[in-house]
Amino acid sequence: MKVLIIGNGGREHALAWKLAQSPRVTKLFCAPGNAGIAQVAECVPLQVDDLEGLKHFAQTNAINLTLVGPELPLSLGIVDEFRKSHMRIFGPTRNAALIESSKSFAKELMVREKIPTPSSHTFDKLEPALTCLESCPLPIVVKADGLAQGKGVIICATRADAREAVRSMLEEQRFGKAGARVVLEEFLEGEELTVMAFADGRTVIPMLPAQDHKRIGEGDTGLNTGGMGAYAPAPLGTPELRQRILDEVLTPAVTGLSRVGSPFFGVLYAGIMVKDGKPYVLEFNARFGDPETQVVLPLLKTDLLDVLEAVVEHRLDQLQVEWHDQAAVCVVLTSGGYPGSYQTGLPITGLPEKESKSVMVFHAGTAHANDKIVTNGGRVLGVTGINSTLAGARDHAHEALASIQFEGRYFRSDIGHRVLQVQS
């Protein structure tokens, strides 16, 4: 079977690595891919928002299944375009993907389906938003309604900060169209948990729970990033809490989307805040998370292609999805200066020459230049360790990343600190 993956990050490398293990995959393509993905798939020079180009490639190369990695093509309606030509593609339609691309849409769905979530107000005009801020409890979370590459969420401790955040979106258009509408959301104190699930419009099968670290600094301090690391399974996700999330969050969301004529086919990502043992949804995503995918997929025992096909063919209820009884920790290596400005094109040395059962190095921002692998992004590599325990998995990751070098490299040494004692 010929499979096309759309995307070029660490998530897509993990997907390609996992699919390459399937005995039924005869040819694997990735558009546009990166230097690491090129080791397991043929990279195609097409950008993720080139819907016509991607569709034409899939048609002319007789692709049997297309898998969408990032949110942008989903929000642009790539699934709708492929389906018009009766081509199999894994991911939600444009309307179903609104659960990620519009926070106000997601909030309305949650209120309608009684899914627990922080209270909120939505505005597209400045003055009403500023008026509302005067009576909102502090701190308060100001969110751009649309897709802002993970940067459109600002936690404000003072009203002055909140006013500035609202003005930056509605008046100064800091996030462009994504910030043309803002959501003012109640701030909840607790511990975050990520639960992704496969869904075929009717059946929902959760994956192992994970936790990621979004802040750039040790101890979860500093600026937000796309993700500095993750681990799974997260002990916070007890069997009881996971069942509650399935019953109160995931199933109602999928049922609610089907009820309004937008059945969800793909991966539904729930970003959860756990407060006093109860789950509250902070956000939904319409695809695999990054870097959570880099720790969850290595623990998947079932052939990933079998799962993807079961979703696309609306028969997920007939599949038993199984997991390895192990743990995974991913540490992200970034370019110096990230999440601000950074240099690219720097040679990377010390990459493992052969695959190991205990360590995987997933490329996020890399490229080939002059027969060398060089940096090509803010997040460069994700080093994932596998072991029977989280502590052992972390140790494997640290041992591997010690030999990987490039100028200005940076990583957090405390990934998993919430459950692991960090050694100084």
The Cα–Cα gap between 266 and 282 comes to: 20
Q: Which of 48-57, 74-83, 88-97, 414-423 has the lowest mean pLDDT?
A: 414-423
The Cα–Cα gap between 80 and 182 comes to: 27
Give pTM, 2 decimals: 0.95
- Span 70-94, average pLDDT: 97
The pLDDT assigned to 354 comes to 84
C-alpha distances out from residue 113 to 81, 205, 250, Å: 29, 19, 11
Residue 405 has pLDDT above 60, yes or no: yes
The CA radius of gyration of the chain, in Å to the nearest whole number, is 21
Helix, strand, or coil (residue 225): coil
Residue 374 has pLDDT above 80, yes or no: yes
Per-residue pLDDT band for 424 (boundaries 50, 70, 90) equals very low
Nearest residue to 72 (alpha-carbon basis) of 87, 90, 51: 51
Q: Which of 38-42, 84-88, 186-190, 209-213 has the lowest mean pLDDT?
A: 186-190
DSSP annotation string for 297-315: GGGB-S-HHHHHHHHHTT-
Residue 210 has pLDDT above 90, yes or no: yes
Q: What are the pLDDT digits (tens) for 305-332? A: 999 999 999 999 999 999 999 999 999 9
The pLDDT assigned to 418 comes to 87
Q: Give residues with Cβ within 8 angstroms of 63, minimum separation 6.
A: 2, 3, 4, 29, 57, 87
The pLDDT assigned to 423 comes to 35
Percent of the chain whose predicted confidence (pLDDT) is above 70: 99
Q: How far, in whole angstroms, is CA 269 from its chain's centroid?
A: 8
Q: Give residues with Cβ within 8 angstroms of 167, minimum separation 6.
A: 126
**Encoding tokens for residue 52?**
């016509």
